[in-house]
């Protein structure tokens, strides 16, 4: 005996892409021919017959207009073109990641220089950089050291970056975010 239960809550998948042929709901449609000419408004059945006579599909391009605009073209080619456009748009977008650099109020010069050098690399690559100065114990009484450190960072990176969020306290740490110009 199998132990699987019937799934009563199974989702129906929505059809992908625009409506075509018999799936178009309007009674009358504005038709654009396969060569790009405007054929004017006509009943849906006549438009489908016209598309079938050319061995093509009637695809709803603009469903929200009155009457909806439909074009006579090949559905496979249309979906391929849409996918190609989406891929081009995805290729052009730039994702900026947030890199974090942690410091202490008493960070020595060499360590500070090393971290600033890495921050500059991140900024040149197009990433945002979050600087965190962590205070422990009695260091909380000398928050001006953290402010001086943040101002020094701003001064050293001002030619390639601008401050997105100015230094502010979040609990026992001071946080600042800089981004490329």
Tens of pLDDT, residue by residue over 25-76, are 889 999 999 899 999 999 999 999 999 999 999 999 998 998 999 999 999 9
CB 164 within 8 A of CB 153: no
Per DSSP (E only), the strands in 3-56 are: 28-32, 38-43
Q: How far is the C-alpha of 160 from the C-alpha of 149, rounded, in Å? A: 18
Residues forming CATH 3.30.110.10 domain(s) in the chain: 98-180
Q: What is the pLDDT of residue 29?
A: 94
Q: How far is the C-alpha of 127 from the C-alpha of 141, rounded, in Å? A: 33
DSSP class of 27 = S
Record the pTM: 0.52
Tens of pLDDT, residue by residue over 66-103, are 899 999 999 999 889 989 998 988 888 777 789 999 99
- At the fourth CATH level, the homologous superfamily of domain 21-80 is Translation initiation factor 3 (IF-3), N-terminal domain (3.10.20.80)
Please give the CATH number for the structural domain made up of 98-180.
3.30.110.10
Residues forming CATH 3.10.20.80 domain(s) in the chain: 21-80
């Amino acid at each position: 005996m199998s132990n699987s239960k019937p799934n009563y809550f199974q989702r129906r998948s929505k059809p992908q892409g625009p409506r075509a042929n018999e799936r178009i709901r309007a009674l009358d449609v504005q038709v654009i021919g396969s060569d790009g000419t405007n054929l004017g408004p006509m009943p849906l059945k006549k438009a489908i017959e016209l598309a079938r006579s050319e061995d093509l599909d009637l695809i709803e391009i603009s469903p929200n207009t009155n009457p909806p605009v439909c074009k006579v073209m090949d559905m496979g080619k249309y979906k391929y073109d849409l996918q190609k456009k989406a891929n081009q748009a995805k290729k052009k977008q730039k994702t900026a990641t947030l890199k974090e650099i942690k410091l202490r109020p008493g960070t020595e010069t060499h360590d500070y220089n090393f971290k600033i050098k890495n921050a500059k690399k991140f900024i040149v690559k197009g990433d945002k950089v979050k600087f965190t100065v962590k205070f422990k114990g009695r260091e909380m009484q000398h928050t001006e050291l953290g402010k001086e450190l943040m101002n020094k960072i701003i001064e050293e990176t001002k030619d390639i970056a601008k401050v997105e969020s100015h230094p502010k306290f979040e609990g026992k740490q001071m946080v600042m975010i800089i981004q490329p110009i």
